[in-house]
Amino acid sequence: MTINDIKEQGLLLFECISGSKAYGLNTPTSDTDIKGVYYLPKAQFYGLEYIPQISNETSDEVYYELGRFVELLTKNNPNILELLASPEDCVLYRHPIMNRLHINMFLSKLCKETFGGYALTQIKKARGYKKKIINPVDEVRKSVLDFCFIMQGHQSVPLTEWLAQNNYVQERCGLVNITHTKGLYALFYDENNVHRYRGIMSSELANEVSLSSIPKGEKEVAYLFFNLEHYSSYCKDYKEYWEWVEKRNEHRYLGNAEHGKGYDAKNMMHTIRLLQVAKEIIEQGTLNVKRLNRQELLSIKTGEYQYNDLLAMADSLMADIEAAYENSTLPNVPNKEQIELVLVQMRETLYK
């Protein structure tokens, strides 16, 4: 089933513009995000092919089956609550039956965790972005050799330097474990390649050192330490960084690079927005999707704030939310029994 199928078969219940345009934070380069709610034909709903969600290829149009929509509302999912509370000028279609679902049925103290938790994930994203900007990973991947060191007295020297100093090649080295140690090996060298040692690593993409069979009577020339923990951490960072480079939104990346603050400004804008919304919900029991402080939020998006100042702003908002939580008149959680009754009645009407 596709979004077009939903509309052609008359299954659409709700459709609206979401995202930056619903928040009143859109700019000339903003995309148009569409979200909606639908219901399945009766046979399909009762059968084995329940479809909870449908989206287009770019995921900027997402539609939720009625039951899934209500389920997420009861969990106080921020995106879904905002969808139900969409400003009227963003609503493209509303089936009369959707009037049975009112935002006041769902707002609860749980919003402190869901909105606040979502905001914290945005901070985490912004911090991860900052780390990637400040600490880029060279495209040329390091190998096992770069994490090996030769013991010399009470000091160590990089293996690559030691090999160059002695005019050795890693392919003619042989390693054996040293018992009762971790990462420490005896290193042998076969100048004439008689013993066919396996070398220190088998290939540039090897994840560990190679061990060789050493003939009896051979004398080690050095002791080698392989920092496996550091190498594993590097491999993880390398993979994450270059996957991020491949998938990043180049327009957004260049915008962040232009403001030069070293963080993802859009993520931080949504962090502050989410916390401000959470504060209003807990203090006032209302959800205002359209933001009245457009200029403040857009100035965050354009990088006019220092990163630490934004973290301080987020901490202050979290403190306000915590302080208001105890005195909030909202229920601890939505009334699931009442909500389920409304959902059943809606389905009975739709499937008559």
Q: pLDDT of 95-154, one tens digit each?
A: 999 999 999 999 999 999 999 888 877 776 655 555 555 567 788 899 999 999 999 988
Instruction: Please check whether residue 98 is in contact with residue 37, taking contact to mean a CB–CB distance below 8 angstroms.
Output: yes
Least confident piece of the model among 17-21, 44-48, 86-90, 279-283: 44-48
Instruction: In whole angstroms, give the CA distance from residue 300 to residue 314.
Output: 12
Enumerate the domain spans of the chain. 1-102+334-352, 107-136+249-331, 144-228
1-102+334-352 is a CATH 3.30.460 domain: yes
pLDDT attached to residue 240 = 84
Instruction: In whole angstroms, give the CA distance from residue 76 to residue 74.
Output: 5
* Mean pLDDT on 314-328: 93
- With a cut of 80, say whether residue 236 has pLDDT above it: yes
Average pLDDT, the chain: 90
Q: pLDDT of 65-110, one tens digit each?
A: 999 999 999 999 999 999 999 999 999 999 999 999 999 999 999 9
For the record, the structure tokens of 161 come out as 């330097």
Q: pLDDT of 180-219, one tens digit each?
A: 999 999 999 999 999 999 999 999 888 999 999 999 999 9
- With a cut of 90, say whether residue 260 has pLDDT above it: no
Handedness of CA 160, 165, 168, 169 (dihedral sign): positive
Instruction: In whole angstroms, give the CA distance from residue 148 to residue 226.
Output: 4
For the record, the structure tokens of 116 come out as 């606040």
- With a cut of 70, say whether residue 253 has pLDDT above it: no
Estimate the crossing angle of helix 111-134 against helix 307-325, to 10 degrees. 170
Among 162, 142, 165, smallest CA distance to 152 is for 162
Residues whose CB falls within 8 Å of the CB of residue 184, separated by 6 or more in sequence, listed in order: 151, 178, 223, 224, 225
pLDDT attached to residue 119 = 82
- With a cut of 80, say whether residue 275 has pLDDT above it: yes
DSSP for residue 137: P
Q: How many residues in the chain?
A: 352
Estimate the crossing angle of helix 250-259 against helix 265-284, to 10 degrees. 90
For the record, the structure tokens of 232 come out as 């594993």
pLDDT attached to residue 254 = 45
Give Cα separations from 1 to 40, 56, 76, 267 (angstroms). Answer: 10, 11, 27, 33
β 184-189/33-38 pair status? unpaired
β 148-152/222-226 pair status? antiparallel
- With a cut of 80, say whether residue 169 has pLDDT above it: yes
- With a cut of 70, say whether residue 255 has pLDDT above it: no
- With a cut of 80, say whether residue 311 has pLDDT above it: yes
Among 273, 295, 265, 252, smallest CA distance to 19 is for 273
For 300: left if phi > 0, alpha if psi spans -120 to 50, otherwise beta; the answer is alpha
* Mean pLDDT on 252-263: 51
Look at residue 36 and give its three-state secondary structure.
Answer: strand
